[in-house]
Structure 1
């Protein structure tokens, strides 16, 4: 077989060619990659969003002057007036280890406001919004909160499969029976924290997601994350209005009101850029508008090869989470093209939950989709397997990871390469033309938007 000239070029050692050097997010320290400059790679990054000089002061100010809500101090003071003996209880929901939320910055400021209003430490409970994720270890809690917070406060983690710890509080218009942790519902003051970024099927993170799915029972999550939503064309990045999954989620979270929202936005290196507090709906909407201005990046065409990270630590902890980076790349890869995702995957596929079982047993993407769409299969993590299979029906997928290799991954759905350079070279060999390449160094923190046809 006679190789195309570009494929021949692809096999030459990197040192004999001029290259473009790009640093992408990977693990805690990043990854430097080299792309032949003959490919004229397009590098997409979000618009610059400058970090706050004093995030604690900004948080304090936002708590005292929130959006469409009384201040947190006033909410706490009124709760104390309503309860006998000044025993008002406050519950603060925080994100688990899979999210880069600056809990160690946010929670002390929130707690300071509560204490200033008269709420006692022993009446403050921290709720870990694990959703369907595993519980976090004590060491992990110390890492994402702080030694001081772990020592001083009661921490409750959501076990979505536990019986007798969730209360059914209503049914959404879509027929979702909403069950949320009873202990959170028993709090006199309910505070949901988080950070807002684009989300691959909910539109944006933050807002009511801290409550549902964060503190929800598995049955509620399975309904919201079902195949009818995964297949819906409006359950996509950057869209909440008209997104049936988000609207069901928001309606579910509303059943747990009143909830005071504390959300932030961040730079790719996880510094706070803005704070949005107050009414769960209006504060979140304001934050989403802010993120959209920076993270949604217009692109004029699709590409043969799209290289993406998964935003580095902590989001690239496993293949399950790396589907998010693949999904961002999938927006601009041409049909039949190649997605290359660099994710450390220190947590494996992982070995907890059902994602690994679903994808490793798959004989093909189409076979997996048929199974997931079957009425008899409603299991945790099916949604992530669903999105991975949808992406594989559009493009080839290659994982670059130094923690996983070929034998560890679902070969029917994705391949493996030791380096991004190897993955690009292998993809170029399969093409009869010079490939067009796009790089997403920050992964799903940057969401490409193609022109509407």
Structure 2
């Protein structure tokens, strides 16, 4: 079998095991530019032409390197549409929604945005302005976003551990927000609520909070995409909540796989850009174990080939994640300690601890085996070294874009 690895793939052979492959229907890839043009022209909610005036200053919040959003195409089309309303480039700032991830490099911005990279600034959570309150929590917003007359966003609607699906208001509220909202939404009280789960947007308190916070930050119009193994599957534009709901329907249809029985091991593929660091890579483990259906039997393990060129990760959140895991004696003790609270970014350590209480996680083929071993997980040179002979194995080639149901 072939699994994603970095920008390429690796071949895995398990001749002594029984293997079942969970591959979603996937859908047919679309031409992003054609679909995005049509989405902007026929938006769900007020048209961009109704929202923009020639004198407006505009902030476009985009996703960062951890998302596979076609931001370059989407920003180019948004700028073209704004230009039709008399808005020039010097009235526009592109804010990279980092949340607590590391800043993007100039080379990465050039690769992502092309000729529009000169308009981009990395979000700094320390440079935020109060925008209102949700559930008694102060909502902070990037100062450039807060100062703009019109706020737009790109986004990727894909399965998300807490929001159900990402995209919509989350790009602005979390990506271009401050630590207060991240602390609240990613804290143990929020993440312990039953409605906060992968693949669910209805009655999901996390989703509700980030949608409201995005509105408080001024977001009026977004253009989002959703994707599957074959590529981008759909694009929608307009009112953010409507856009998310439209693309969730497309994503569920393309990404859901029914799973029968229980397995000794799940091999979960990740690939670039998510397998650059351990923080993002562990999403595959928690998506498997904490999703709608856990396919593992008691004591089953999760095996993930990942490049880990950045080790644990370089951002504030990634470093907090690493500190919690690397200093813990056990998953159980870590989980119990984190139940009392933690700084934003460390939430991934909390959900990883939840997973590790029930299942061992093996990371193979990586450039940072010492980091893996330090973080309560097991490093192995190859996938084959992490699977016991005779195991019943479920292979999920694209674990971050597969909903096991």
Interval containing the TM-score (normalised by the shorter chain) = over 0.9
* Cα deviation, residue 230, structure 1: 2.2
Give 1:288's aligned residue: 248
* Cα deviation, residue 221, structure 1: 0.8
Give 1:443's aligned residue: 399
1:361 maps to 2:340 = no
Give the structure with higher Rg (CA): 1
Tell me which of 286, 294, 305 is aligned to 1:342: 305
Tell me which of 14, 28, 39 is aligned to 1:62: 39
TM-score normalised by L of structure 2: 0.94
1:34 maps to 2:13 = yes
Where 1:321 maps in the other structure, the secondary structure is: helix
Give 1:380's aligned residue: 344
* Cα deviation, residue 226, structure 1: 0.4
Where 1:194 maps in the other structure, the secondary structure is: coil
Please give the residue correspondences for 1:95-110 in structure 2 after superposition, counting only pairs within 5 Å: 95-110=63-78
* Cα deviation, residue 116, structure 1: 1.7
**Could you tell me how far apart the structure 1 residues matched to 2:248 and 2:332 are?**
34
Task: Note closer, same or farther for the CA distance 1:114–1:297 as it changes in structure 2 (3 Å cut).
Answer: same
Which ranges of 4 or more aligned residues in structure 1 deviate by more than 3 Å?
Answer: none
Residues 150 and 218 of structure 2 are in contact (CA less than 8 Å); yes or no, is this contact kept in structure 1?
no
**Could you tell me how far apart the structure 1 residues matched to 2:82 and 2:122 are?**
21
**Could you tell me how far apart the structure 2 residues matched to 1:302 and 1:234 are?**
24
TM-score normalised by L of structure 1: 0.84
**Could you tell me how far apart the structure 2 residues matched to 1:335 and 1:387 are?**
18
**Could you tell me how far apart the structure 1 residues matched to 2:262 and 2:147 are?**
50
* Cα deviation, residue 360, structure 1: 0.5
* Cα deviation, residue 392, structure 1: 0.3
Tell me which of 116, 138, 155 is aligned to 2:106: 138
Residues 365 and 383 of structure 2 are in contact (CA less than 8 Å); yes or no, is this contact kept in structure 1?
no
Tell me which of 96, 111, 121 is aligned to 2:89: 121
Give 1:230's aligned residue: 191
Residues 176 and 224 of structure 1 are in contact (CA less than 8 Å); yes or no, is this contact kept in structure 2?
no
Give 1:395's aligned residue: 359
Give 2:21's aligned residue: 43
Structure 1, unpaired ranges of 5+: 1-21, 81-86, 429-433
Task: Note closer, same or farther for the CA distance 1:352–1:257 as it changes in structure 2 (3 Å cut).
Answer: closer
Tell me which of 271, 281, 290 is aligned to 1:322: 281
Residues 129 and 214 of structure 1 are in contact (CA less than 8 Å); yes or no, is this contact kept in structure 2?
yes
The CA deviation string for residues 151-193 of structure 1, in whole angstroms up to 9 with x for no partner, is: 3x2x222112x1xx322222213x3221111210221221110
Where 1:348 maps in the other structure, the secondary structure is: coil
Residues 223 and 236 of structure 2 are in contact (CA less than 8 Å); yes or no, is this contact kept in structure 1?
yes
**Could you tell me how far apart the structure 2 residues matched to 1:234 and 1:345 are?**
32
**Could you tell me how far apart the structure 2 residues matched to 1:258 and 1:400 are?**
41
* Cα deviation, residue 437, structure 1: 0.8
Structure 2, unpaired ranges of 5+: none
Where 2:282 maps in the other structure, the secondary structure is: helix
Residues 268 and 398 of structure 2 are in contact (CA less than 8 Å); yes or no, is this contact kept in structure 1?
yes
Residues 276 and 310 of structure 2 are in contact (CA less than 8 Å); yes or no, is this contact kept in structure 1?
yes
1:168 maps to 2:130 = yes
RMSD, matched Cα: 1.6
**Could you tell me how far apart the structure 2 residues matched to 1:399 and 1:135 are?**
26
Residues 153 and 219 of structure 2 are in contact (CA less than 8 Å); yes or no, is this contact kept in structure 1?
no
Residues 322 and 375 of structure 2 are in contact (CA less than 8 Å); yes or no, is this contact kept in structure 1?
no
Please give the residue correspondences for 1:159-308 in structure 2 after superposition, counting only pairs within 5 Å: 159-160=124-125, 162=126, 165-173=127-135, 175-268=136-229, 271-308=231-268
The CA deviation string for residues 402-427 of structure 1, in whole angstroms up to 9 with x for no partner, is: 3111x2224462111100011113xx
**Could you tell me how far apart the structure 2 residues matched to 1:424 and 1:398 are?**
9
Between the two proteins, the alignment pairs up a number of residues equal to: 398
The CA deviation string for residues 273-326 of structure 1, in whole angstroms up to 9 with x for no partner, is: 21111011111111111111111211122311101012x111111000011111
